[in-house]
Amino acid sequence: MNRRTRLAVLLTAVVLLGTVGTAAVLRAADRSAVRDRQQTDGPTVRTGDVVLRPPGERQLLVRNLAWGPHRDEIATVPAGHPDGPRTASGVKCLRFHAAAGTGICLQAERGAVADTYRAVVLDAHLRIRHRFPAPGIPTRSRVSPSGHLVAWTVFVSGDSYAGTAFSTRTAIADTRTWALDDNLEEYAVTKDGHPYHASDINIWGVTFADDTRFYATLATGGRTYLVRGDRTARTLTTLHGNVECPSLSPDGTRIAYKKRLPGASQDAPWRLYVLNLATMKETATAEHRNVDDQALWSGNDTLVYALPGDYGSDLWTVPADGSGTARRMMTSAVAPAYAG
Amino acid sequence: MYLADSRNSTTRTSTAAPGSTRPGRRPAVPGTVLALGAVSLITDVSAEMITAVLPLYVVTALGLSPLGFGLLDGINNGVGALVRLAGGHLADGGGRRHKVVAGIGYGLSAVCKPLLLLAHGLPAISSVLAADRAGKGLRTAPRDAMISLATRPEHRGRAFGVHRAMDTAGALLGPLTAFAVLRVAVDGYDAVFTVSACVAALGVLVLVLFVPARLDSGQPASRPAAVRPALRDSLALLRRPGLRRLTLCATLLGLTTVSDAFLYLLLQRELGVPADLFPLLPLGTAAVFLLLAVPLGALADRIGRRRLFLAGHAVLLLAYALVLSPLRGPVTVGTVLVLHGAFYAATDGVLAAATAGVVPTEHLGAGQALVGTGQALARFVCSLAFGAAWSLWDGRDALAVAAVALAAAALCAARLLRTGDPSGADRDPGDADHDDRRTPEGAPR
């Protein structure tokens, strides 16, 4: 084959492969445009005022995933009628949580090259009070019961030379002073009663007890632990093994969490459990499917969590004491929080 | 597919292969090296497109929590090392084998890209990535052997520098391409995978079309093409003092080379790099590597590859020292990254060039694989040890120990390499042939 033939073959291949690539990109662009059009069988979504201190009935705030112009916006429904019409706020968040008139919203921001992420603290009218840069893909967020503290976790992927190792960064900010602890891995760790250092420590899923104490997951050496954290003393102390994404009940007595079942498939290893902090007794909930979410307490007896659904994810609910059955509460929603 | 290769290497003509013009008139960087560089560039665009979006894809599109995803890395490293040795050995089979084995490696990685469209769980994705990495392991040694064969010995440093620079350019372009696709098609991860597959296919095609199947560097053909070295012969390469010393040095220094991931983590913790700037650290290293690979490769041709290889590690030692020093602030972080990139530019391609100088041409694949694998495994062991040391003391102390070990290793390596070259001038071009004549295979040393 001479040079000209080779160049001709190359050119043909470039045109062919270029066509395939362009077609794939256009098809994907088309598909993403469809998601911005109103979904016919979906819930009614209209714009309106969304506030974190509602005057009347308790409200449930979620990231709305229903297709249409308000996809990914924080929307609200009456807590008693989660299936009802949604009121969209116009504020887009990947993750969201709120308590006592403070909201934390993890957003993507279009950068020159890639998206960057930020953690935005919102007031009761979802107006921006403060922005923090976030170093990776948002995964968890929480506000303390007082509304004074916010926490968020992002995934950070290793550099390209190191391959595909993931780690997390968890930060806590004080909304009164804007003081920021941008990496909880810097706290002093006590594991099984001894001081502990390791390069592979990861921390995620903060849940606040009050403005000093919190709980979170600490992972090291391929195992996960429930840790109790102290923001003033800057310490983390392990309490229990095999706990991920803890969520403290409003009465402060129990932790709902993801437990990795030893026999379960690697694809779907987690079940929703509740740990009694006084007795350290674990109770399995009636949800037997794989749950990969930080559950939310609706009162002291019921858990709300996300499971994969037709439009990304749906919200489900199950009693916290292991009784009853799991019920679907609303479709096309994720990242729930109660207000009022 | 490639039909133009001449069977008779003594009657090469300039049309036989791009870049293989007549001896004496061949350019410092032959067309074959540029072609292999282009293949690496294109393949790296494809690979880094995936690497850049995979975390986003796993977390946002699949909705998975990928922690512990890196656990497979250890196993992958071990398998990768074996595959690399196998690739090097198989490639030495004579004829067009270098190209065939490299082609299979590039092809395997290319096939993995569309497979990602089908993999929806972490175990499946991990398997695809492992296969992708096996392809990389398979092609590395034959590719470096081809670069060595295509280039005149005295220009190999620069040739490898050009190749590594092109490779790194691809690694920097990949993420840009991927994010551009995601700009046009929001959440279009399947489009990213498809484009990546097309780019990878193009890379394989460039290899098939523009890299000649038969390569030689103007040295007289030393063997009939049909003789295939036995596995024993490949392993017996380590009996050659030159190669043994080089492998030993690469391994020794690899044992004290702290992995990039740890270094960036230390930069963040010790020098206070803000968390949101953390993802930019590898880009800094890569950019410096890209800029310095060619000039340092050419420098290696002038002052000696082993000398520059050692100097590169001295630069790394300087980087460690800077991290351990009380200096802080963006200038210090930038300087560490410059030193780190310079370390890669002074050692990565330069080691391959030095290896080519101490291995007979019929064993180039196996020789490249031995040195490369020794270094890679040593670095892996270092990562394990460094992680353990970090747990035992803390990151800073672990780095201090690594720095002392690196200094000691560098001194040993300097001694080892100097004994290998009594004249003191460690110019390796052409060493292989001289070495060949001085030390026949299996001769007592």
Q: Structural domain boundaries of chain B?
A: 16-216, 236-420
pLDDT of residue B319: 96
Q: What is the pLDDT of residues A166-216, one digit of tens each?
A: 788 999 999 999 999 988 998 999 999 999 988 888 999 999 999 999 999
Of B65, B69, B277, the CB nearest to A164: B69
Alpha carbon B97 to its chain centroid, in Å, reads 20
Q: Within 10 A of B95 (CB to CB), how many other CB atoms are there?
A: 14
What is the sign of the dihedral through the CA atoms of B334, B340, B344 and B346? positive
Least confident of A83-92, B83-92, B109-118, B428-437: B428-437
Residues in CB range of B42: below 8 A, 6 or more apart: B170, B199, B200, B202, B203, B206
**Closest B-chain CA to A162:** B261
pLDDT of residue A307: 94
Average pLDDT over residues A82-110: 94
Of chain A, the percentage scoring pLDDT greater than 70 comes to 97
**Domain contains A30:** yes
Of chain B, the percentage scoring pLDDT greater than 70 comes to 81
Kindly write down the DSSP assignment for every residue of A140-183, as one continuous string.
EEEE-TTSSEEEEEEEEEPPSTT-S-EEEEEEEEETTT--EE--
What is the sign of the dihedral through the CA atoms of B198, B200, B203 and B209? negative
Residues in CB range of A221: below 8 A, 6 or more apart: A198, A200
Average pLDDT over residues A327-340: 94
**Domain contains A64:** no
Mutation to test the A interface, candidates B48, B54, B65, most A Cβ within 10 Å: B65
| CB-facing half-sphere around the CA of A7: CA atoms within 13 A | 4
pLDDT of residue A157: 67
Report how far residue B315's alpha carbon sits from residue B322's, in angstroms, rounded to the nearest whole number: 11
Q: What is the pLDDT of residues A202-241, one digit of tens each?
A: 999 999 999 999 999 999 888 999 999 999 999 999 999 9
Asked if B191 lies within 8 A of A25 by C-beta distance, the reply is: yes
**Both tokens of residue B411?**
């001194």
Look at residues B165, B120, B132, B114 and name the one whose alpha carbon lies nearest to residue B348: B165
Q: State the average pLDDT for chain B.
A: 82
Contact A217, A184 (CB under 8 A): no
**Closest B-chain CA to A202:** B67
Is the pLDDT at A290 greater than 60, yes or no? yes
Of A159, A196, A267, the CB nearest to B122: A267
Asked if B73 lies within 8 A of A165 by C-beta distance, the reply is: yes
**Closest B-chain CA to A204:** B67
**Both tokens of residue B220?**
């007289």
pLDDT of residue B443: 36
Look at residues B142, B154, B162 and name the one whose alpha carbon lies nearest to residue B211: B142
pLDDT of residue B77: 66
pLDDT of residue B402: 95
Q: Check residue A38 and report its DSSP letter.
A: P
pLDDT interval class at A164 (50, 70, 90): low
Asked if B198 lies within 8 A of A21 by C-beta distance, the reply is: yes
Contact B341, B287 (CB under 8 A): yes
Least confident of B9-18, B19-28, B247-256: B9-18
- Decide if B67 touches A, using CB distance below 8 A: yes
Burial B287-305 (b: 16+ CB within 10 A, else e): bbbbbbbbebbbbbbeebb
Average pLDDT over residues A277-303: 96
Q: What is the pLDDT of residues B185-203, one digit of tens each?
A: 888 999 999 999 999 999 9
Q: Is A195 helix (H, G, I), strand (E, B) or coil?
A: strand
Pairing of strands A194-196, A327-330: unpaired
pLDDT interval class at B113 (50, 70, 90): very high
At residue B311, what is the residue type? A
Is the pLDDT at B273 greater than 60, yes or no? yes
Contact A229, A236 (CB under 8 A): yes
Minimum distance, in Å, between the CA of residue B71 and any CA atom of chain A: 8
pLDDT of residue B74: 57
Among A303-317, B49-63, B119-133, top mean pLDDT goes to: A303-317
Asked if B59 lies within 8 A of A155 by C-beta distance, the reply is: yes
pLDDT of residue A174: 97
Q: How many residue pairs bridge chain A and chain B with CB atoms within 8 Å of each other?
A: 185
Domains held by chain A: number: 1
Report how far residue A69's alpha carbon sits from residue A35's, in angstroms, rounded to the nearest whole number: 8
Is the pLDDT at B17 greater than 60, yes or no? no
pLDDT of residue B121: 80
**Both tokens of residue B114?**
């569309």
Is the pLDDT at B7 greater than 60, yes or no? no
pLDDT: is A129 or B60 the higher one?
A: A129
Among B77-91, B334-348, B431-445, top mean pLDDT goes to: B334-348
Specify the pTM: 0.82
pLDDT of residue B393: 83
Look at residues A21, A181, A320 and name the one whose alpha carbon lies nearest to residue B188: A21
Element (H, E) at A284: strand A282-284
pLDDT interval class at A265 (50, 70, 90): confident
Residue in the block written with tokens 């299996």: B442
Residue in the block written with tokens 């250092």: A197
**Domain contains A144:** no
Is the pLDDT at B11 greater than 50, yes or no? no
Is the pLDDT at A98 greater than 60, yes or no? yes
Report how far residue A268's alpha carbon sits from residue B437's, in angstroms, rounded to the nearest whole number: 62
With the CA atoms of B26, B32, B34 and B35 taken in that order, what torsion angle do they form, in degrees rounded to the nearest 10? Answer: 150
For residue A13, the enclosing domain spans 1-34
Contact A174, A193 (CB under 8 A): no
Report how far residue B58's alpha carbon sits from residue A219's, in angstroms, rounded to the nearest whole number: 19
Strands lying side by side in the sheet with A244-248: A244-248, A254-260, A270-276, A282-284
pLDDT: is A66 or B10 the higher one?
A: A66
pLDDT interval class at B95 (50, 70, 90): low
Among A155-169, A254-268, B70-84, B157-171, top mean pLDDT goes to: B157-171
Q: What is the pLDDT of residues B132-177, one digit of tens each?
A: 989 999 999 999 999 999 999 999 999 999 999 999 999 999 988 9
Kindly write down the DSSP assignment for every residue of A199-223, as one continuous string.
TT-EEEEEEESSSSEEEEEEEETTE
Provide the phi-psi class of A323: left if phi over 0, else alpha when psi is between -120 and 50, else beta.
Answer: beta
Contact B259, B267 (CB under 8 A): no
Long-range contacts of B304-307 (CB under 8 A, 24+ apart): B304/B425, B304/B426, B304/B427, B304/B428, B305/B156, B305/B157, B305/B350, B305/B351, B305/B353, B305/B354, B305/B357, B305/B426, B305/B428, B306/B246, B306/B249, B306/B354, B306/B417, B306/B420, B306/B421, B306/B426, B306/B428, B307/B426
Mutation to test the B interface, candidates A106, A155, A245, most B Cβ within 10 Å: A155
Superfamily of domain B16-216: MFS general substrate transporter like domains (1.20.1250.20)
Q: Which residues in chain A are closer than 8 Å to B179, comparing Cβ atoms?
A: 113-115
Report how far residue B370's alpha carbon sits from residue B234's, in angstroms, rounded to the nearest whole number: 9
Asked if the domains at B16-216 and B236-420 fall in one CATH topology, the answer is yes
Mutation to test the A interface, candidates B32, B67, B133, most A Cβ within 10 Å: B67
Least confident of A265-269, B244-248, B382-386: A265-269
Average pLDDT over residues A19-24: 96
Report how far residue B314's alpha carbon sits from residue B306's, in angstroms, rounded to the nearest whole number: 12
pLDDT: is B148 or B419 the higher one?
A: B148
pLDDT interval class at A268 (50, 70, 90): confident
Is the pLDDT at B23 greater than 50, yes or no? no
- Decide if B6 touches A, using CB distance below 8 A: no
Average pLDDT over residues A267-289: 94
Q: Which CATH architecture has domain B236-420?
A: Up-down Bundle (1.20)
**Domain contains A18:** yes
**Domain contains A99:** no
| CB-facing half-sphere around the CA of A197: CA atoms within 13 A | 13
Q: State the average pLDDT for chain A.
A: 92
Of chain B, the percentage scoring pLDDT greater than 90 comes to 52
Q: What are the Cα distances from residue B106, in Å, to A102, A231, B47, B200, B409?
A: 53, 51, 11, 8, 35
Among A247-256, B22-31, B276-285, top mean pLDDT goes to: A247-256
The yes/no answer to whether this complex scores an ipTM above 0.95 is no
Kindly write down the DSSP assignment for every residue of B165-209, as one continuous string.
HHHHHHHHHHHHHHHHHHHHSTT-HHHHHHHHHHHHHHHHHHHHH
Minimum distance, in Å, between the CA of residue A81 and any CA atom of chain B: 27
Report how far residue B304's alpha carbon sits from residue B307's, in angstroms, rounded to the nearest whole number: 5
Q: Which residues in chain B are closer than 8 Å to A267, comparing Cβ atoms?
A: 121-123
Report how far residue B384's alpha carbon sits from residue B380's, in angstroms, rounded to the nearest whole number: 6
pLDDT: is B120 or A159 the higher one?
A: B120
Contact B21, B29 (CB under 8 A): no
Average pLDDT over residues B66-71: 53
pLDDT: is B373 or A40 the higher one?
A: B373
